[in-house]
Amino acid sequence: MNDTVDVTVNGEPRAVARGATLARAARIARARPRAVVVEHNRTIVRRPRLAAVTVAPGDAIELVHFVGGG
């Protein structure tokens, strides 16, 4: 059995550990949780739920980063 699952993060294929959560996937992609919005299979996931949602093979994850300035 494979210990990873294949997902897509911001359009790029990635292998993440089986059972990984969205919070873990965001950390792997070096996203700062407080500065990113996470979309999972075309649905926005609120920050408090990131540790509760487990990724599955074929999932699409988009990480949208906030940029400060004015």
Q: Which CATH architecture has domain 4-65?
A: Roll (3.10)
pTM for the complete prediction? 0.83
DSSP 48: G
- 33 close to 57: Cβ distance less than 8 angstroms: no
Q: Which residue has the tokens 């294929």?
A: 13
DSSP 21: B
Q: What is the pLDDT of residue 57?
A: 96
Q: What is the pLDDT of residues 22-48, one digit of tens each?
A: 988 887 777 666 678 899 999 999 989
The CA angle 16-29-68, to the nearest 5 degrees, is 155
Q: Are strands 60-65 and 43-45 parallel, antiparallel or unpaired?
A: unpaired
Domain extents in the chain: 4-65
